Amino acid sequence: VTLLMFDLDKFKSINDRFGHAIGDSVLRVFAQVARTSMRATDILGRLGGEEFVAMVPEPMEGAVHVAERLRAGFEAAGVIVDGLAIGATVSSGLATSYRVEPDIDSLLLRADTALYRAKNEGRNRFICADEEPGSEQARGKSQAAKAGGLKRRWVARRPKADDAPATG
C-alpha cells in the first residue's frame, strides 16, 4: 500500500489575496481533478485546510502515476478569477509499505517528510520516500524518474526516534 500526502501550494496566499470564496473554489477544483485522477480502489480524504491524504493499494511504481496525473491535472485545470488565471499547484509526498499490516504512523511520517521536501525543493512536484535508504531499488527509481521527465524525486530516509511527535 502507498500513502500519498497532498498540500495545495501557497493556498494561504490565495485565500489572503482573493478571499475564502476563491480558496473554496480552488479546493473544489482539486477535488474534481482528484476524482478523475484516482481509481475506484484509491481512497482520498481531507486532513484539513489544504491538506489531503490518499491510500493507493499498490506499490510505489503504480502510485507515482496517480500522483503525477493529479499534479499535472490540477496544474492544467486552473482557477479563473475576474479573467485572471490563478496558478494553483499541488505538492505531494509518497510512502510505501510492503507489509501485510502497514504501520500507519510510520507511513504518515515518511509521506509528510517527503511532502515537506517537495515543498522546499520548488513545489508542484512529488517526492517518494523509499522504505530502504540507499537500496538498489531506490537508486534505480531515481534514474528512471530523471529519464521519464516527471516532476518527482526519490528520497530515502529512515525515521529517527526524535522524529516521533511529542506527547504529554
Query: Does any domain span residue 143?
Result: yes
Domain count, the chain: 1
pLDDT of residue 131: 59
Active site positions, annotated: 50
Query: Does any domain span residue 134?
Result: yes
6: left (phi over 0), alpha (psi -120 to 50) or beta: beta
Query: Does any domain span residue 109?
Result: yes
The percentage of residues in the chain with a pLDDT greater than 70, rounded to a whole number, is: 77
Query: Does any domain span residue 44?
Result: yes
For position 34, which CATH number holds? 3.30.70.270
Stated pTM of the model:
0.74
pLDDT of residue 98: 84
Domain of 34? 2-163
| Distance (Å) of CA 62 to CA 18, 50, 69, 94, 131 | 36, 24, 11, 11, 16
Query: Does any domain span residue 168?
Result: no
Distance CA 54, CA 63 (A): 10
Query: Does any domain span residue 128?
Result: yes
Q: What is the pLDDT of residues 52-82, one digit of tens each?
A: 999 999 999 999 999 999 999 999 998 887 7
Average pLDDT of span 21-35: 93
Query: Does any domain span residue 81?
Result: yes
Q: What is the pLDDT of residues 103-149, one digit of tens each?
A: 889 999 999 999 999 999 999 999 999 754 443 334 333 433 443 44
